Amino acid sequence: MPTDLDSMVKVFSRPKSLTEARSTYCPGCQHGILTRIIGQTIDELNIAERTLIIAPVGCSVFAYLWYRCDAVQVAHGRASAVATGIKRADPNLVVLSYQGDGDFASIGTAESIHAANRGENITVIFVNNQVYGMTGGEMAPTTLIGQKTTTTPSGRDAAMFGYPIRFSEMIAQLDAPVYVTRQALYDTKRIMDATKAIKKAFTNQVEGKGYSLVEVLATCPTNWHMKPVDASRHVVDVVTKVYPLGDLVDRG
């Protein structure tokens, strides 16, 4: 193996639009992969100077620490509404609303749907890990039937708690959204697909096309009580059966 770095070319390094701060996520949490993908996309589109990231409430609440971009940390669920206001006030900004499932699909349902229905020219990344991560693993609207959480200790029962909500499919019924897709991060191919989808969602906004939503199936090894590799396998075997991957709307 050549040890002389002069004979080697660097083919992968930390995106320039990310700070040196270490993430606060648990080991194996795929939020970290998304952070890297977003940083890489901002680098590739060269939009760091005019990107504004909306940090939600949830595990990603510290998102403003990790990007060399402007950021706002907003009230729980209201990221899409704040994104609307910021984008309308300064249309030159590239606004990313980064939200988890408890934020986007539960407490923020009204804001999320109406921002999509108005076709706001924003990019939304919706991280679906089927659980409220930060507060200790409670049931989310996206929790699978039979899945054990701290508030459904014997598994989610449809008669009591309803069914897992396919939020992206709901958004896809609307006329306004330009791009709605569901991606995952369980292997390198999926990570590359998700990278393409996120780049497209940003490009749509830069080109003024309108609302783009990228739902990303992520793991929560801590609250799923699985090893990170087993959690990725669980996404393949179980989660994608309930939340199928692929583009739902592409009017770009």
Q: Which residues bind other proteins (CB under 8 A)?
A: 1-2, 5, 7-15, 18, 22-23, 25-33, 35-36, 187-188, 191-192, 221, 227-229, 232
Beta carbon nearer to other proteins, 30 or 80:
30
Beta carbon nearer to other proteins, 26 or 72:
26
Beta carbon nearer to other proteins, 88 or 227:
227
Distance, CA of 95 to CA of 124 (rounded, Å)? 9
CA 77 to chain centre: 14
Beta carbon nearer to other proteins, 10 or 241:
10
The token duo for 156 is 């989610």
* Shortest CB 82 distance to other proteins, Å: 27
Maximum pairwise Cα distance, the chain: 64
* Shortest CB 17 distance to other proteins, Å: 12
* Shortest CB 130 distance to other proteins, Å: 18
* Shortest CB 139 distance to other proteins, Å: 24
3-state per-residue secondary structure call for 167-217: HHHHHHCCCCCCEEEEEECCCHHHHHHHHHHHHHHHHHHHCCCCCEEEEEE
* Shortest CB 67 distance to other proteins, Å: 12
CB-based burial, 126-137: b 16+ in 10 Å, e otherwise: bbbbbbbbeeeb
Distance, CA of 22 to CA of 36 (rounded, Å)? 12
Residue 107 Cα distances to 74, 81, 113, 137, 217, angstroms: 13, 12, 12, 16, 19
Beta carbon nearer to other proteins, 228 or 252:
228
